[in-house]
Chains A and B, each alone.
Chain A
Amino acid sequence: MMEGGAKKELLRVQHLKKYFQTPAGLLYAVDDVNFSINQGDTLGVVGESGCGKSTLGRTILRLHEPTSGEVLFDGVDIMRLNKAQMKEKRKQMQIIFQDPYESLNPRLTVSQAIQAPMIIQGLYKASDKEGLERRTLEMMDLVGLARRLVNTYPHELDGGRRQRIGIARALALNPRFIVCDEPVSALDVSIQAQILNLMQDLQQELGLTYMFITHDLSVVKHLSTQIMVMYLGQMVEMGTPRQIFENPCHPYTKALLSAIPIPDPAKKMERIQLHGELTSPINVGPGCRFAKRCVYARPECFASSSQLKEVEPGHVVACHLVEHTVDEAGASGLSE
């Protein structure tokens, strides 16, 4: 879990914003998010539904065009790439979608689904049946799909197997970075564990870098090297799993952690009360977006938004109530 200085930075996101125009006003889905991921690491992104975590993942891949901001992949700002250059880059940046029941074309067989990205990206010609087949079987072996399933359709397969197709598709192009958007949320626990193990093995084997989006904090703790907590489009806290789980500083992180039901009847939960529910990300005013639900909110919380502060090396928090505990050394790469 040590932060290796030798690790190379793969992705850097700077001041990324994505606003949507709605009839009710501007929706601040992603609002000035900054972070970086090192090669081979996993960044876990957690938050409640509607906090903008999926939009963040998609904007990084330019599946949504950002309102503003930069995404440096390997030092290149991909937001400046033209269509052809972007297509080339996509070989290296893939996504695994949440719901394996909806993300696969019901009219394509397993082999057609896995081959589609390879043909589109020109790795193989559509006429090169032999090459395509070899690669397809290779991918199926890699993700643990039995070869006999090569000509089946998605509706014949269960959720776990379908998600393996989604993973095989993403891996078929030899990517370096994968956005995993709730890849196990739709699966049963025993199948979920199989898929999580598979993803860990593939990461080791192929040196993959993951951005793992989920609402399940225990999954995030299990997988991540860094965790980012999002609330209404903004990052409220980021740190290593140990920092986030043992020393959560933002009141929202604390409340989120205290709400997880512990599978141990001897440990009764002491829940930190939250007022109400997620407020709307449309036309947000000044001030901390969490203030309305926060039990510790003070007048200044409603007046101005808080900047990210580094509370310990590598652990940043955006909250008025958190004091700078790292002195002059707190020159964080993230806060300004």
Chain B
Amino acid sequence: MAFLDIKDLQVDYVTEDGVVHALNGVDLEVMEGETLGLVGETGAGKTTLAKCIMGLLPQRTGRIRSGEIYYDGKDLLKMSLKEMQKIRGAHIAMIFQDPMTSLNPVLTVGDQIAEAVQNHENCKRDEAMKRAEEMLELVGIPAERAGDYPHQFSGGMKQRVVIAIALACNPKFLIADEPTTALDVTIQAQVLEMMQDLKRKFHTSMLLITHDLGVVAQNCDRVAVIYAGEVVEYGGIFDVFKGMRHPYTKGLFSSIPQIQNEVTRLAPIPGMMPDPMDLPEGCKFCTRCQHATQRCREEHPQLVQVGEGHWARCFLCEQEGKVKE
């Protein structure tokens, strides 16, 4: 059974200039204990999805048009603020992208971890501080540094602190939104390795949001590729990386210079992502796709099963399998 089940999620942002269609019917399932990678470019809707799960959509502009997010049998989108606050941090925690801005500069790191603990567990302050020190040790920072402020830490260390806060209450589900994008490769490797270890230790399920296909390949069990607010392909990591079917997924792979193969010229995807205020009628990718036909421009493709647990949203795959209802 799915641990977290997202059904037909549609989200708009209402702005002065018009309505931005950020998510257009996203269906995703995260299984217990697995890491699901969510890949896409800027503006594809990755972070909006994470915010919806956390109930952090900006109230003034964000609007959920339809959809359900089931966690433990309950729809998160129907919960009251009070109920949501109990879930947030204790059951579902989030690691934000930029460790430089996601910590409070005027509180010590120990205080910030202890705050998360005290919010959810009925404990005294010194117990919470003790827990904070344990968490620091767990992420590889000496406990003595609990009294230090964020500016006294380097980027990689700050991200470790952010991870310590997220894990402080033993969440069952972790959302990591580009957790290593702001870090150097050697530090990225250390942080990702540590996250994998902790995940195994606590049996946490994880949604790993990234634009780096390398990070996905090395850390995820399954992957979903998102484009203009829609999942265009998803499946097991081997199925998607070795037998990708959607033209956008193929385009992503041919855009990156790869260490292993010698390519003298990259094959980028032409053009740009469509304006989310004015999306194409049919397939969202039709404006950049070299296989696009008249039908692609008029009719919206559904996800088609192209293999065991492997789905692609493209008419080219239509003959092969059943259409997802």
Does any Cβ of B come within 8 Å of A88's Cβ?
no
Smallest CB–CB gap between B258 and chain A, Å? Answer: 6
Does any Cβ of A come within 8 Å of B215's Cβ?
yes
Known: A158-B272, A189-B252, A197-B266. A263 touches B184 (CB 8 A): no
- Residue pair B218, A261 in contact (C-beta under 8 Å): yes
- Residue pair A269, B218 in contact (C-beta under 8 Å): yes
The 8 A CB mask of A184-209 against B (1 = contact, 0 = none) is 00001111111011001000000000
Known: A190-B255, A262-B260, A277-B157. A268 touches B218 (CB 8 A): yes
- Residue pair A261, B189 in contact (C-beta under 8 Å): yes
Nearest residue (CB) in B for A46 is: B185
- Residue pair A259, B213 in contact (C-beta under 8 Å): no
Q: Count of A residues near B, CB < 8 Å?
A: 42
Does any Cβ of B come within 8 Å of A245's Cβ?
yes
Does any Cβ of A come within 8 Å of B3's Cβ?
no
CB contacts (< 8 Å) of B266 on chain A: these are: 193, 196-197, 222
CB contacts (< 8 Å) of B254 on chain A: these are: 193
Nearest residue (CB) in A for B221 is: A265
Smallest CB–CB gap between B323 and chain A, Å? Answer: 27
- Residue pair A189, B214 in contact (C-beta under 8 Å): no
Does any Cβ of A come within 8 Å of B91's Cβ?
no
Known: A193-B255, A262-B260. A215 touches B184 (CB 8 A): yes
- Residue pair A196, B257 in contact (C-beta under 8 Å): yes
Chain B interface helix/strand/loop/mixed:
helix
Smallest CB–CB gap between A201 and chain B, Å? Answer: 9
CB contacts (< 8 Å) of B213 on chain A: these are: 263
Known: A197-B268, A260-B259, A277-B156. A265 touches B241 (CB 8 A): yes
Partner of A266, one of B42, B216, B238, B265: B238
Residues A244-294 near B (CB distance < 8 A): 245, 255-269, 271, 274, 277-278
The interface size bin for chain B is 35 or more
- Residue pair B257, A256 in contact (C-beta under 8 Å): no
CB contacts (< 8 Å) of A197 on chain B: these are: 265-266, 268
CB contacts (< 8 Å) of B41 on chain A: these are: 188-190
The 8 A CB mask of B225-269 against A (1 = contact, 0 = none) is 000000000000110011000000001111111111001011111
The 8 A CB mask of A48-92 against B (1 = contact, 0 = none) is 110000000000000000000000000000000000000000000
- Residue pair B187, A277 in contact (C-beta under 8 Å): yes
CB contacts (< 8 Å) of A278 on chain B: these are: 154, 184
- Residue pair B217, A256 in contact (C-beta under 8 Å): no
CB contacts (< 8 Å) of B216 on chain A: these are: 263
Residues A210-227 near B (CB distance < 8 A): 215, 217-219, 221-223
Partner of A160, one of B184, B263, B272: B272
Does any Cβ of A come within 8 Å of B211's Cβ?
yes
Nearest residue (CB) in B for A245 is: B259
Does any Cβ of A come within 8 Å of B298's Cβ?
no
- Residue pair B256, A265 in contact (C-beta under 8 Å): no
**Can you name 10 extra interface pairs (CB under 8 A) apart from A190-B252, A218-B259, A222-B263?**
A49-B155, A160-B272, A193-B266, A193-B267, A261-B212, A261-B217, A264-B260, A268-B218, A269-B218, A277-B156
Q: Shortest 5 CB-CB distances between A and B: which pairs?
A: A261-B214, A193-B268, A222-B257, A193-B255, A263-B213
24 CB contacts below 8 A, A to B, read: A189-B211, A190-B41, A190-B251, A190-B252, A193-B256, A193-B266, A197-B265, A200-B265, A215-B184, A245-B259, A257-B259, A258-B189, A259-B189, A260-B185, A260-B259, A262-B218, A262-B259, A262-B260, A263-B256, A264-B217, A265-B217, A267-B217, A269-B218, A274-B186
Which residues of B approach A to under 8 Å, CB–CB? 41-42, 154-157, 184-190, 192-193, 211-219, 237-238, 241-242, 251-260, 263, 265-270, 272
